[in-house]
Amino acid sequence: MTESPTALNDREFMDALLNVVIPPNASGSLPGAGALGLSLAVATALQADPLLGPVVEAGAQAVRKAALSQHQEGLPGMTPEAGTKLVETQLSAHPFFMMGMLRYLYPAYYQHPQVLTGIGEVPRPPFPEGFDVEATDAGLLEKLQARRRAY
């Protein structure tokens, strides 16, 4: 008898979960996180994290179990609205689930070339070329410097 994979190792489930957490935008310029193939990277990072990994695994396992009780295919077979509602029902029992998931999902998502292009950024690392930084209002800095120390 083969053991079923953990929720984090279930690629189809994780892709669906990531699409619930970061869905595609209405215009289609930004894909959902699950459509970018980030599930393996996020799962690998979480499994290497001794604090957040078990917390996220427990929450993901609860979501997967609840989804399978509602739909034969689980989360991948549910509508985006139904999947979102289902994930929300698990957050009170697993309060750090989403925080742990986002710790690794947000950086992976917002560094992806498709997302960078979709938000109007050049899809490249910031160094060595750097980015232009707009000049600031010197008056704002003067106000800050004029404040007395708080300690």
Q: Tell me the pLDDT tens digit for each residue of 41-54.
A: 999 999 999 999 99
Any domain includes 147: no
Any domain includes 22: yes
Residue type, 127: F
Predicted pLDDT of residue 140: 86
pLDDT at 65 over 60: yes
Q: How would residue 68 be classed by pLDDT, with cut points 50, 70 and 90?
A: very high
Residues 6+ apart with CB under 8 A from 31: 24, 114, 115, 118
Any domain includes 111: yes
| Most trustworthy range by pLDDT among 4-8, 30-34, 140-144 | 30-34
Predicted pLDDT of residue 48: 97
Total domain count for the chain? 1
Any domain includes 136: no
Any domain includes 2: no
Task: Name the percent of the chain lying above pLDDT 90.
Answer: 73
8 Å CB contact between 63 and 87: yes
pTM of the model: 0.81
Residue type, 137: D
Whole-number Å distance between alpha carbons of 94 and 107: 22
Any domain includes 128: no
Q: How would residue 2 be classed by pLDDT, with cut points 50, 70 and 90?
A: very low
Any domain includes 79: yes
Predicted pLDDT of residue 3: 52
Domain range holding 114? 7-121
Select the more confidently predicted residue: 2 or 110: 110
Predicted pLDDT of residue 1: 43
Predicted pLDDT of residue 84: 97
Any domain includes 132: no
Whole-number Å distance between alpha carbons of 38 and 16: 11
